[in-house]
Structure 1
Amino acid sequence: MIPVKGFSGQKVAVLGLGRSGLAAARALRAGMAEPLCWDDNPAARERAEAEGLVCVDLRRNGAFEGVASLIVSPGIPHLYPEPNPVVAAALEAGVPVDNDIGLFFRSFAGSEWNSYDTPPRVIAVTGSNGKSTTAALIHHILTEAGREAQLAGNIGRGVLDIEPGGDGSVVVLELSSYQTELARALTPDVAVFTNLSPDHLDRHGGMGGYFAAKRRLFAEGGPDRAIIGVDEKEGAFLAGQLSEGPVDDRVIRISVSRKLTGPGWQVFARKGFLSEYRKGRQAGSIDLRQIKGLPGAHNHQNACAAYAACRALGLAPRVIEDALHSYPGLPHRSQIIAEADGVTYVNDSKATNVESALKALNAFKKIRWICGGLEKEGGLAALNAAADQVIKAYVIGREAAGFAMQLKAEAQVCTTMEEAVAQAMADAQSGETVLLAPAAASFDQYDNFEQRGEDFTAQVWQRLAE
């Protein structure tokens, strides 16, 4: 646990008692603060009270008298589309609003660092797609290289649940726009921006607000190294804002759409080969085509970002390459769950929007595609760019018929995962891939995308065992 600093003897309100909220309350208590907790869900309050935490209705008049700060969980809106009433009350009372990420950055450093040969480092990863894989991949590479590393934030453990940093250790954080937008402190040593595509626009008041939330990770803390995906205009703009000139190697540009040139520091992937160039000369090269845990151009972008982050910490290219070959992939993210009779079964339940689903479709050929769910704004037309790779789509979800009508590929309305998997497996032939890449949220049929992916995996294994 990272005890929170700066609030000893003060009252701090905590809104939302999920994983991050409970961790924040515990860490505040460990730092000698007095956390006042609230969640609209009675069961969440009961769990907190069972740990000896005090729950106070933050909705009542005068709830913020004598309160030093309000700590808000990521899922609770603080500005758009409308501020949560508790957040609005705190702002009206002049109480600062923060989150667990802000608490972490103000509390992580300790006096014991003065005796370390190498102070702990923090690598923070954000972006629209690929940030989970990139963060997990960086953590894997560091661990394989013998470095002490912890993975936290939007993946792994709650950021305040991790252990204090040891000599030469590294903390790898995956940070969503919800987390970067609100944190009052953001000071990573290395910051990574993977890419940007429309998502969570209602929460951020549009694309500009969404980009601004991501940009805060770089603008607020001034990382020593910034690794920026420049395949979208926003990334190219951000890299330009951060760089002092063409030779400024504090900015490492990455791409999977073109060769990057110039006297700076670049990492790019073309035709399955990763290349690193620095000061106009090639410094490293890796053949990514045979790495099973990283299929497709989108994962090659993740590999470029992870490679650049680890190079920024001084790891050698060959050490990174060896670790890439042992990377098993993340559950629900282009995860190969089975291979039988020449058919490959891939779980990419995390592909909850059109952009990420399109990347999954482009990573494989001869696809039996299971898709559908709670459709997001913007429509599905972009998916038709990969129609040639799809032999047939098997559509699930309560609105499966409407979803299927928007697809250029042949589509069959199945509604349930059980029917979709049964039909796809019955149709599949050697050399084909049965791919779950929903291009939609899971909430019409499942609690979360993990549960959807687990259902797909269970259905596949059940039929393979028959």
Structure 2
Amino acid sequence: MIPARGVDGARVALLGLGRSGLAAARSLRAGGADPLCWDDNPDARTRAEAEGFACTDLRRDGAFDEVAFLLLSPGIPHLYPAPNPVVTAALAAGVPVDNDIGLFFRSFATADWDGFDTTPRIVAVTGSNGKSTTSALIHHILTCAHRPAQLAGNIGRGVLDIEPAVDGEVVVLELSSYQTELARALTPDIAVFTNLSPDHLDRHGGMGGYFAAKRRLFSEGGPDRAVIGVDEPEGRFLAGQMAEGPADDRVIRVSVAGKLTGPGWSVVARKGFLVEMRKGRQAASIDLRPITGLPGVHNHQNACCAYATCRALGLAPRVIEAGFRSYPGLPHRSQIVAQAGGVLYVNDSKATNVDSAAKALSAFPNIRWICGGLEKEGGLAGLAAATGSVLKAYVIGREAAGFAVQLNVPTEICGTMDEAVARAMSEAAPGDTVLLAPAAASFDQYDNFEQRGDDFTARVRQRLDR
């Protein structure tokens, strides 16, 4: 656990008692603060009280008297589409609002570091798609290279739940826009921006607000190095803002869409080959095609971002390549769950939006595509150009019929995962891929995308075992 710093004797209000909220409460208590906790869910309050935390209704009059600041869990809106009433009350009382990410960055460094040979470093990864894989891949490469490392944030452990840093350690954080938009302190040593596509637009008041939330990691934090995907206009704009000129190697540009020119530092993947360029010359090259844990162009972009980050941390190309080859992949992200009778079965339940689903569809041939769920804002038009390899779509979800009519491929309305898996497997031939890439949220039928992916995997394996 990371004890909170600068809070000794302070009263700190805390709204939201999920994983990150409880970790924050423990951190505050360890730092000498008096946390005043609240969650609308009585079960969450019961769990907090079982750990000895005082729960007080932050909606009552006078709740923010003598409170130093409000710590807000990431899922709770503070501005759009409408601020939570507790946030409104805090701001009306002049009480600052922060989150666990801000508290972490204020608390991570300690006096113990003065005795370290190598100062610990923080890598923070954000973007619309690929940030989980990129974060996990960086952590995996560091571990394989015998560098002390921890993985936290939007993946794995909460940021305040990790262990205090040891000499030379690297902490890799996956940060969502919900986390970067509010943190009052953001000071990573290396910041990574994978890509940008429409998502969470209601929460951010539109695409501009969404990009602004991601951009704060760079503009507020002033990282020593910035790894930036430049295949979208926003990425190119961000890279231009961070660089002093074309040759500024504090910015490493990443692309899978085309060749990057100029005297700067870049990492590009084309036709399955990753190429590092520095000062106009090729510095290294890796063949990504045989690496099973990183299939498809979208994973090649993740590999480029991870490669650039690890190079900035001083790792040699051959060490990074060895990490690539042993990387097993993340569950629910282009995860190969079975291969039988010449048919490949892939779980990409994390493909919850159009852009991530399109990338999954581009990674495999002869696809029997299981899709559908709670459709997100913007519709499915963006999938049209990515369905060239789709033989047939098997649509699930409560609104399967409405989802199916938007697709430009042969479709069958299945409704449930069980029926979709059964139909896809019965029609699959050698050389086909049965792919779950929903292009939708899971909440109409499942608690989360992990549960949806686990259901797909279980039903595939049950039928193969018959």
1:145 matched to which residue of 2?
145
> Aligned partners of 1:209 and 1:377: how far apart in 2?
15
2:132 matched to which residue of 1?
132
2:237 matched to which residue of 1?
237
Measured after TM superposition, the shift of residue 388 of structure 1 is 2.0
1:93 matched to which residue of 2?
93
1:189 matched to which residue of 2?
189
Q: Can you list the C-alpha shifts for 1:122-148, whole angstroms capped at 9, x where unaligned?
A: 000000000000000000000000001
* 3-state SS in 2 of match to 1:388: coil
1:438 matched to which residue of 2?
438
* Correspondence 1:332 to 2:335: no
Equivalent AA in structure 2 for residue 75 of structure 1: G
Measured after TM superposition, the shift of residue 24 of structure 1 is 0.3
Measured after TM superposition, the shift of residue 221 of structure 1 is 1.2
* 3-state SS in 1 of match to 2:267: strand
Q: Can you list the C-alpha shifts for 1:139-179, whole angstroms capped at 9, x where unaligned?
A: 00000000010000000000000000100000000000000
* Correspondence 1:274 to 2:271: no
Measured after TM superposition, the shift of residue 381 of structure 1 is 1.5
Equivalent AA in structure 2 for residue 262 of structure 1: G
Aligned residues: 466
Q: Can you list the C-alpha shifts for 1:255-287, whole angstroms capped at 9, x where unaligned?
A: 000111111100000000000011111111000
* Correspondence 1:351 to 2:351: yes
Aligned ranges for residues 302-341 of structure 1 at < 5 Å? 302-341=302-341
> Aligned partners of 2:408 and 2:462: how far apart in 1?
31
> Aligned partners of 1:145 and 1:159: how far apart in 2?
23
> Aligned partners of 1:342 and 1:290: how far apart in 2?
18
1:422 matched to which residue of 2?
422
2:457 matched to which residue of 1?
457
Q: Can you list the C-alpha shifts for 1:406-427, whole angstroms capped at 9, x where unaligned?
A: 1111000000000000010010
Equivalent AA in structure 2 for residue 178 of structure 1: Y
* Correspondence 1:264 to 2:264: yes
1:177 matched to which residue of 2?
177
> Aligned partners of 1:304 and 1:215: how far apart in 2?
20
* Correspondence 1:375 to 2:375: yes
* 3-state SS in 2 of match to 1:160: helix
Structure 1 residues 196-205 or 379-388, which shifts more?
A: 379-388
> Aligned partners of 1:144 and 1:78: how far apart in 2?
40
Measured after TM superposition, the shift of residue 354 of structure 1 is 0.4
Measured after TM superposition, the shift of residue 382 of structure 1 is 1.6
> Aligned partners of 2:247 and 2:456: how far apart in 1?
48
Taking only aligned residues, the RMSD between alpha carbons, in angstroms, comes to 0.5
Q: Can you list the C-alpha shifts for 1:47-72, whole angstroms capped at 9, x where unaligned?
A: 00000011010000000000001000
Give the TM-score normalised by structure 2: 1.00
2:206 matched to which residue of 1?
206
- Is there any run of 5+ residues in structure 1 with no aligned partner, and where? none
* 3-state SS in 2 of match to 1:64: coil
Q: Can you list the C-alpha shifts for 1:16-65, whole angstroms capped at 9, x where unaligned?
A: 00000000000000001000000000000000000001101000000000
2:168 matched to which residue of 1?
168
Measured after TM superposition, the shift of residue 386 of structure 1 is 2.3
> Aligned partners of 2:386 and 2:316: how far apart in 1?
37
> Aligned partners of 1:386 and 1:103: how far apart in 2?
41
> Aligned partners of 1:286 and 1:307: how far apart in 2?
10
Measured after TM superposition, the shift of residue 384 of structure 1 is 1.7
* 3-state SS in 2 of match to 1:358: helix
> Aligned partners of 2:246 and 2:450: how far apart in 1?
43
Measured after TM superposition, the shift of residue 387 of structure 1 is 2.5
2:384 matched to which residue of 1?
384
> Aligned partners of 2:41 and 2:401: how far apart in 1?
35
Structure 1 residues 379-388 or 10-19, which shifts more?
A: 379-388
Equivalent AA in structure 1 for residue 226 of structure 2: A
Q: Can you list the C-alpha shifts for 1:97-120, whole angstroms capped at 9, x where unaligned?
A: 000000000000000100000010
> Aligned partners of 1:305 and 1:54: how far apart in 2?
43
Equivalent AA in structure 2 for residue 263 of structure 1: P
Aligned ranges for residues 65-144 of structure 1 at < 5 Å? 65-144=65-144
1:54 matched to which residue of 2?
54
* 3-state SS in 1 of match to 2:68: strand
* 3-state SS in 2 of match to 1:401: helix
* Correspondence 1:448 to 2:426: no
1:29 matched to which residue of 2?
29
* 3-state SS in 2 of match to 1:182: coil
Measured after TM superposition, the shift of residue 3 of structure 1 is 0.1
* 3-state SS in 1 of match to 2:161: coil
> Aligned partners of 2:284 and 2:191: how far apart in 1?
21
> Aligned partners of 1:345 and 1:322: how far apart in 2?
26
Equivalent AA in structure 1 for residue 350 of structure 2: K
* 3-state SS in 2 of match to 1:452: helix
* Correspondence 1:412 to 2:418: no
Q: Can you list the C-alpha shifts for 1:230-264, whole angstroms capped at 9, x where unaligned?
A: 00000000000010001110000000001111111
> Aligned partners of 1:388 and 1:356: how far apart in 2?
16
> Aligned partners of 2:129 and 2:332: how far apart in 1?
13
Q: Percent identity?
A: 79
* 3-state SS in 2 of match to 1:221: coil
- Is there any run of 5+ residues in structure 2 with no aligned partner, and where? none
* 3-state SS in 2 of match to 1:291: coil
> Aligned partners of 1:425 and 1:364: how far apart in 2?
16
> Aligned partners of 2:342 and 2:144: how far apart in 1?
32
Measured after TM superposition, the shift of residue 385 of structure 1 is 1.2
Equivalent AA in structure 2 for residue 306 of structure 1: A
> Aligned partners of 2:261 and 2:334: how far apart in 1?
30
> Aligned partners of 2:214 and 2:130: how far apart in 1?
14
> Aligned partners of 1:382 and 1:10: how far apart in 2?
50
Equivalent AA in structure 2 for residue 404 of structure 1: A
Measured after TM superposition, the shift of residue 383 of structure 1 is 1.1
Q: Can you list the C-alpha shifts for 1:191-240, whole angstroms capped at 9, x where unaligned?
A: 00000001001100111110000000001110000000000000000000
